[in-house]
């Protein structure tokens, strides 16, 4: 069976006055897929969502929902569900009336409405709050009701506009799992806007990383994390060590880079188009680096230095090592008992060639 | 400590208390007593009975209420869109509109009413233009009738309506109308199911204010209603200043006050249901 495309964005463009805020946006979202728009504030992710919702009209390109061109169609004719950052529950209606709002507009019978409201309240596990007013609910409860209100109309597409950012850390995690569970149960096609990489990584089937109105990369969370298409993607998602240097040579399918500090870094399956002498940047994730107390001679993918800092953070410990003029951060699982982490101690960092990422240095 | 605090509150409010007591409460009390006097200065309720017996007074009372209700309706219908515009505008634009609304109040109401006389009169420019265009054969009667009074009162009091409603609209989260829209509500539907119900506190404040002010207005009905459209404040004034029948004038004034309080109380009771209190209490 061929895949069903629920949403299609073709070279979508939006400008405010002469400022282009979204450009050349191309995306196909499959039925049942969970896609996140991830990027820093001002990257155009919310603008794109507002175009899909119909609050903004694109200045170029086409928007298709279920195969129908939606440019210029007002939001109330699009049959979408949307959850806002500020919950946006109607304060003058009870929870049940809030949820029933969209159903009443669709001229559904009273008994049907009652049944569907009850069902969706069970779904978000809040069957007892039906007669309360929004202000009598906690932040987490309000957002669950907002989700229920969006889902009850059985929308063709669910839009989530940073729905977790107004909640405190613990609640955010709880609701994130809730969203995941709901998506697995209902399977509604979902577009989720967030600036939080963890939310995007944990929830999405695919992530669209955006910056300055452009798409930097579209891929699965693992792709985005392990095979970033650009330096921006790599540094925006997760912590990383960034070492500058230049290409020293090729060795089979490996690339050898000499860093400014004189370290020799070997990278497997890197971009072999890089020529010797060309400036390049090396990235290594802190959790991929091992720490040991031996004083083996320095070599490829090995740096001897001095432990500067170590912060115990429960399940892991973050260290900073000064080696060859580079400051290298290392993330150790706390179960590692090999090295005593006393600042000032001589240590050795090492990593595998498979975990090294090389990119041509950005001009400028 | 508390003694000191109480003493300072007493001392701080004393000047205004003395003024209020001396020039407001005391004269009111004297007027109330006066309204229960007959020609021989003995206690009697005949001034109030006269109101019940003579349909002339009842008709004027009804006209006063009718004119006030029309003024409320006109201010509401004309003022709500302005308030909506202000709620959607930027801070700077809000300031400009507020200034434009309040600016006419820098001029005496007498002068503004005469301005209306010039505009609405038989030889006023509205009639001249309509006649010249051939849309009417005879000049319209826009003055010295209830219509004229309603026009004048609306002009005087619409600012209170606009500002009261705008204050309520400012407090509404703009994403609520987005939420209504995505759930399937057209703009008109959104207005009646979300914006209007949430602006109720401002709407109640505005209508109550405009109604009370219209009931007690004297200058505008006197200037724009002429002798044919008398309202309660005007006949109370006539009794006191022209006929020199102070007891009857006082009785008419208290009847006006009593009916205004009664109507406003009934109105707010009707609107402020249990649900209203639950939603809008902070």
Averaged pLDDT for residues A329-342: 75
pLDDT attached to residue B120: 92
A364 touches chain B (CB under 8 A): no
Chain centroid to Cα B186, Å, comes to 33
Number of alpha carbons in the 13 Å side-chain half-sphere of residue B117? 14
State the average pLDDT for chain A. Answer: 90
pLDDT attached to residue A339: 65
Whole-angstrom Cα distance, residue A132 to residue A67? 40
**Residue A305, helix vs strand vs coil:** strand
Q: Which class does domain A5-236 fall in?
A: alpha beta
Hey, which residues 39-78 in chain A have their CB within 8 Å of chain B? Answer: 53-55, 74-78
Residue of B nearest to A107 (CA): B184
The verdict on residue B69 lying in a domain is yes
Whole-angstrom Cα distance, residue A87 to residue B267? 34
| Residue partners of B234: CB distance under 8 A and separation at least 6 | B218, B221, B222, B225
Q: Is 70 exceeded by the pLDDT of residue A362?
A: no
State the smallest CA–CA distance between residue A134 and chain B in angstroms.
Answer: 9
For B46-58, how does the pLDDT look when each residue is reduced to its tens digit (9 = 90+)?
999 988 899 999 9
Furthest-apart CA pair in chain A: how many Å?
A: 79
Tokens 């002068």 label which residue?
B111
Residue A283 φ/ψ, nearest 5 degrees: -120, 135
Whole-angstrom Cα distance, residue A6 to residue A200? 20
- Report the 10 Å Cβ neighbour count for B155: 21
A167 touches chain B (CB under 8 A): no
Q: What are the residue ranges spanned by the domains of chain A?
A: 5-236, 241-360
The verdict on residue B94 lying in a domain is yes
A147 touches chain B (CB under 8 A): no
Q: Is 80 exceeded by the pLDDT of residue B105?
A: yes
Residues of B in contact with A101 (CB under 8 A): 180, 183, 185, 193
CA neighbor of B229 nearest in space, from B115, B153, B176: B153
For A251-272, how does the pLDDT look when each residue is reduced to its tens digit (9 = 90+)?
888 888 999 888 889 988 666 6
pLDDT attached to residue A239: 87
Cβ-count burial B250-259 (b if 16+ within 10 Å, e if not): bbbbbbbbee
Q: Quote the percentage of chain B above a pLDDT of 90.
A: 83
Whole-angstrom Cα distance, residue B49 to residue B65? 20
Residue of A nearest to B185 (CA): A76
Residue B271, domain extent: 45-280
The verdict on residue B187 lying in a domain is yes
- Record the pTM: 0.85
Residue of B nearest to A149 (CA): B183
Residue B265 φ/ψ, nearest 5 degrees: -65, -45
0.90 surpassed by complex ipTM: no
pLDDT attached to residue A254: 86
Interface test with B, best of A52, A54, A75, A147 (most B CBs within 10 A): A75
The verdict on residue B40 lying in a domain is no
DSSP-derived pairing of the beta strands A326-333 and A302-312:
unpaired
Whole-angstrom Cα distance, residue B258 to residue B262? 6
For B229-262, how does the pLDDT look when each residue is reduced to its tens digit (9 = 90+)?
899 999 999 999 999 999 999 999 999 999 999 9
- Report the 10 Å Cβ neighbour count for B6: 10
Contact criterion met (CB < 8 Å) for B183 and A74: no
Averaged pLDDT for residues B161-172: 96
Chain centroid to Cα B31, Å, comes to 23
Q: What is the CATH number of domain A241-360?
A: 2.40.50.100
| Residue partners of A363: CB distance under 8 A and separation at least 6 | none
Provide the CATH number for the domain around residue B228. 1.10.3720.10
Contact criterion met (CB < 8 Å) for A102 and B184: yes
For A16-53, how does the pLDDT look when each residue is reduced to its tens digit (9 = 90+)?
988 999 999 999 999 999 999 999 998 999 999 999 99
Q: Is 80 exceeded by the pLDDT of residue A2?
A: no
State the smallest CA–CA distance between residue B205 and chain A in angstroms.
Answer: 18
pLDDT attached to residue A269: 66
For A181-226, how does the pLDDT look when each residue is reduced to its tens digit (9 = 90+)?
999 999 999 999 999 999 999 999 999 999 999 999 999 999 999 8
The verdict on residue B20 lying in a domain is no
Q: Is 60 exceeded by the pLDDT of residue A151?
A: yes
| Residue partners of B131: CB distance under 8 A and separation at least 6 | B139
State the smallest CA–CA distance between residue B87 and chain A in angstroms.
Answer: 18
Contact criterion met (CB < 8 Å) for B279 and A88: no
The verdict on residue B19 lying in a domain is no
Total number of domains in chain B: 1
The verdict on residue B191 lying in a domain is yes
The verdict on residue B222 lying in a domain is yes
State the smallest CA–CA distance between residue A141 and chain B in angstroms.
Answer: 17
The one-character DSSP state at A264 is: E
In angstroms, what CA-CA distances link A325 with A260, A304, A311?
8, 11, 21
Answer yes or no: are the C-beta atoms of A22 and A13 closer than 8 Å: yes
């Amino acid at each position: 069976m061929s895949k069903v495309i629920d949403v299609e964005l073709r070279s979508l463009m939006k400008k405010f006055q002469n400022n282009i805020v979204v450009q050349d946006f191309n995306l196909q979202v499959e039925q049942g897929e969970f896609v996140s728009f991830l990027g820093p504030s001002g990257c155009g992710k919310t603008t794109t969502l507002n175009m899909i919702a119909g609050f903004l009209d694109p200045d170029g390109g086409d928007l298709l929902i279920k195969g129908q061109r939606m440019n210029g169609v007002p939001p109330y004719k699009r049959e979408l569900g949307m959850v806002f950052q500020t919950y946006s529950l109607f304060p003058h209606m009870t929870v049940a009336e809030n949820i029933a709002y969209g159903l009443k507009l669709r001229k559904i019978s009273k008994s049907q409405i009652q049944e569907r409201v009850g069902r969706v309240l069970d779904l978000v596990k809040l069957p007892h709050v039906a007669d309360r007013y929004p202000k009598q609910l906690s932040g987490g409860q309000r957002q669950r009701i907002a989700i229920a209100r969006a889902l009850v109309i059985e929308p063709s597409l669910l839009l989530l506009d940073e729905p977790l950012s107004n909640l405190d850390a613990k609640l955010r995690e709880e609701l994130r799992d809730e969203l995941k569970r709901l998506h697995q149960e209902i399977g509604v096609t979902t577009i989720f806007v967030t600036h939080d990489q963890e939310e995007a990584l944990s929830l999405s089937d695919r992530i669209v990383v955006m910056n300055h109105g452009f798409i930097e990369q579209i891929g699965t969370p693992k792709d985005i994390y392990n095979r970033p298409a650009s330096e921006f993607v790599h540094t925006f998602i997760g912590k990383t060590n960034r070492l500058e240097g230049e290409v020293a040579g090729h060795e089979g399918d490996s690339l050898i880079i000499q860093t400014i500090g004189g370290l020799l870094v070997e990278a497997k399956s890197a971009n072999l188009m890089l020529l010797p002498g060309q400036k390049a940047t090396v990235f290594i994730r802190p959790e991929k680096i091992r720490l040991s107390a031996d004083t083996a001679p320095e070599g490829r993918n090995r740096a001897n230095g001095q432990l500067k800092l170590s912060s115990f953070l429960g399940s892991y410990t973050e260290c900073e090592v000064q080696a060859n003029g580079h400051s290298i951060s290392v993330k150790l699982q706390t179960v590692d008992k090999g090295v005593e982490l006393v600042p000032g101690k001589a240590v050795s960092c090492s990593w595998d060639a498979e975990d090294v990422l090389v990119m041509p240095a950005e001009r400028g | 400590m508390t003694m000191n605090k109480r003493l300072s509150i007493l001392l701080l409010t004393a000047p205004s208390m003395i003024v209020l007591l001396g020039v407001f409460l005391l004269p009111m009390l004297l007027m109330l007593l006066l309204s229960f006097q007959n020609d021989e200065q003995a206690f009697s309720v005949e001034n109030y009975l006269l109101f019940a017996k003579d349909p002339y007074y009842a008709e004027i009372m009804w006209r006063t209420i009718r004119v006030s209700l029309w003024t409320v309706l006109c201010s509401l219908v004309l003022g709500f869109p302005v308030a909506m515009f202000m709620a959607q505008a930027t801070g700077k634009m809000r300031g400009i509109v507020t200034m434009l609304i309040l600016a006419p109040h820098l001029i005496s109401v007498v002068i503004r009413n005469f301005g209306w006389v010039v505009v609405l009169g038989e030889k006023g420019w509205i009639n001249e233009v309509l006649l010249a265009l051939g849309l009417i054969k005879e000049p319209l009667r826009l003055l010295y009738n209830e219509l004229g009074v309603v026009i004048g009162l609306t002009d005087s009091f619409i600012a209170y309506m606009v500002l009261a409603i705008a204050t309520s609209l400012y407090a509404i989260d703009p994403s609520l109308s987005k939420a209504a829209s995505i759930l399937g509500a057209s703009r008109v539907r959104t207005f009646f199911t979300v914006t209007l119900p949430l602006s109720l506190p401002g709407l109640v404040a505005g209508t109550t204010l405009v109604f009370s002010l219209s009931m007690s207005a004297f200058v505008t009905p006197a200037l724009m209603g002429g002798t044919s459209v008398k309202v309660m404040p005007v006949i109370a004034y006539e009794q006191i200043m022209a006929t020199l029948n102070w007891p009857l004038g006082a009785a008419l004034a208290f009847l006006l006050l009593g009916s205004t309080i009664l109507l406003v109380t009934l109105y707010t009771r009707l609107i402020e249901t249990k649900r209203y209190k639950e939603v809008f209490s902070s």
